[in-house]
Structure 1
Amino acid sequence: MPTQGPFDLPAHVHSALTPLNKRLVVNRRGSTVWHAQTTSGPFAVKIGYPSQTHAWTALAPAREAAILRQLIPEEEVRSGEWEKGTWSAQPWREGESLFSLWEPHRHPSKPAEPNLSEALSCVAALAALHESGWVHGDVQPNHFVIGPTETSLIDLALARGGDVPEIYDFRYHGCLVHYEAPEISSSILKSGTAVPTMEADVYALGASFFISATGWRHVSYPDDADRKDQRQAIVDKPHRPINVPGVLGTLIEQMMSHNPADRPTSAEVFQTLRKAH
């Protein structure tokens, strides 16, 4: 059985970064993430290892690093290998996740309409990624970090759109099912893999807005349903009624259209929200 961590920074990674201090951020699904303060600034350091269900998680940090080097200055990204997989370091993005920031909206006693500026900043981040030719493949509310001056879309290990070294590449087996588009779920049920698309990213962003504002998953299924049954529900059932008020609710309905061709692009969502804002 694979060891589940958390894993400390391997000695050679510690030597490369020489952190002044560090704190554990998360350890799950084959990834230990540290917030490391260095003389060059704060970094998110990811230590990848095989999980109980997936071997590819060991390669994810190096794969993400290869993608980031095509999107941000190369000197801001470091990566390498260690005995159980790969590791990477990238600039730490300060802020709160979309899901955390919208927590007050999930209480009936609080204002029901989410902040359009925050929604617009998330759309802008996704639209910018799409404009650069990349598909994210794992859009979810915890991957939008909303800071005081900018919103960052993080966790690009599953992204597609450019060259990735073959030794670190792996096939796409879907994302967190709570945000998975019907066509992605259908493909995985049939073949075990899928091709991430910008249309599926838009669906996932709509589902992210919906769950962050309401607390409800986009499609209903039992909490204890296995992954196959969850995906079958996404394929077979309509999404939940969209009860988010205002222009955002209308947009979510469009973004979560069952037919990918009926969804607006991320750029179109951005333009609509900007005009409403």
Structure 2
Amino acid sequence: MGSPAPVHVARAVAELHGRGWVHGDLQSAHVIRTVDGVRLIDFAWARHLGETPWSAFRGTMVHLTAPELAAEITVGSQPVLTSFASDVYALAASLWTAVTGDWPLDYEAVGIDRKSAGPVALLEAVGERTAPLVGTEVWPEFQQVLKEVLLADARNRPSAAELADRLTALGELGR
């Protein structure tokens, strides 16, 4: 059956958001392809927009954590409220990783060894936006769409539906 196409994953996230739900822990392992289409799984951190989560969100995989969440987590604000925008960041970061085989941020460029640094140091780099995107260019047109998502602040980040539309506009590459 193969891996789900990026645009189908973005549309699945857009559908979830359209129902008023934030996933809170988007990552490639939480997306499956079935005969009926792409499905999201593992809703442990999901919440309906406007509702406070039942427990304090402490983050997902550091490399997929949106900068605004990382900043809140490192200062100890609780509960940290995930959002549509943070889901879209995680989606773009997951797609980046699927395309390049590497996490999106170049921690080494700012003197952080991601293998020996603890999660706090990585979260600080994400939250302070000190680490640039890695320079790996596998599919430049596709990665340009993802760069725009990863570099945007939460207020200006496209929605999952807008990201799906941008991927669709790439033609076969996004499908």
Provide the TM-score with structure 2 as the length reference.
0.82
Q: Indicate whether 1:226 and 2:118 are aligned.
A: yes
2:88 matched to which residue of 1?
202
1:185 matched to which residue of 2?
70
CA shift for structure 1 position 205: 0.7
CA shift for structure 1 position 238: 2.3
2:155 matched to which residue of 1?
261
2:63/2:104 contact within 8 Å kept: yes
Task: Name whichever of 224-233 and 127-136 sits farther off.
Answer: 224-233
Q: Which protein shows a greater Rg? A: 1
| Matched ranges for 1:104-115 at <5 A | none
CA shift for structure 1 position 246: 4.9
Task: Give unmatched runs, 5+ long, in structure 1.
Answer: 1-94, 102-116
1:135 matched to which residue of 2?
22
Distance 1:242 1:234 in 2: 18
Aligned-partner residue type, residue 10 of structure 2: V
Distance 2:22 2:77 in 1: 19
**Residues 245 and 226 from structure 1, CA distance in 2 versus in 1: closer, same or farther, beyond 3 angstroms?**
same
Distance 2:50 2:153 in 1: 29
2:169 matched to which residue of 1?
275
Relative CO higher for 1 or 2, CA cutoff 8 Å, sep ≥ 6?
2
Over residues 201-258 of structure 1, what are the superposed CA-to-partner deviations in whole Å (9 max), with x where a residue is unaligned? 1111111011111111122342121110110121232232362425421210111124
**Residues 255 and 162 from structure 1, CA distance in 2 versus in 1: closer, same or farther, beyond 3 angstroms?**
closer
In structure 1, the residue corresponding to 2:21 is in which secondary structure?
coil
Aligned-partner residue type, residue 200 of structure 1: S
Distance 1:239 1:262 in 2: 18
The percent identity for this pair of structures is 27
2:100/2:138 contact within 8 Å kept: yes
1:178/1:217 contact within 8 Å kept: yes
Aligned-partner residue type, residue 30 of structure 2: H
Aligned-partner residue type, residue 232 of structure 1: E
Q: Would you tell me which structure has more helix in proportion to its own residues?
A: 2
Q: Would you tell me which structure has more strand in proportion to its own residues?
A: 1
| Matched ranges for 1:48-127 at <5 A | 101=3, 118-127=5-14
1:155 matched to which residue of 2?
42
- For the aligned residue pairs, the C-alpha RMSD in angstroms reads 2.4
2:102 matched to which residue of 1?
216
Aligned-partner residue type, residue 39 of structure 2: S
Distance 2:49 2:69 in 1: 20
Distance 1:267 1:128 in 2: 8
1:72 matched to which residue of 2?
none
**Residues 234 and 198 from structure 1, CA distance in 2 versus in 1: closer, same or farther, beyond 3 angstroms?**
same
1:242/1:249 contact within 8 Å kept: no
Q: Indicate whether 1:173 and 2:58 are aligned.
A: yes
**Residues 129 and 244 from structure 1, CA distance in 2 versus in 1: closer, same or farther, beyond 3 angstroms?**
farther
2:139 matched to which residue of 1?
245
2:142/2:170 contact within 8 Å kept: no
Over residues 32-90 of structure 1, what are the superposed CA-to-partner deviations in whole Å (9 max), with x where a residue is unaligned? xxxxxxxxxxxxxxxxxxxxxxxxxxxxxxxxxxxxxxxxxxxxxxxxxxxxxxxxxxx
1:134/1:162 contact within 8 Å kept: yes
Task: Give unmatched runs, 5+ long, in structure 2.
Answer: 108-113
The number of residues matched between the two structures is: 162
CA shift for structure 1 position 260: 1.3
**Residues 272 and 139 from structure 1, CA distance in 2 versus in 1: closer, same or farther, beyond 3 angstroms?**
same
Distance 1:200 1:162 in 2: 13
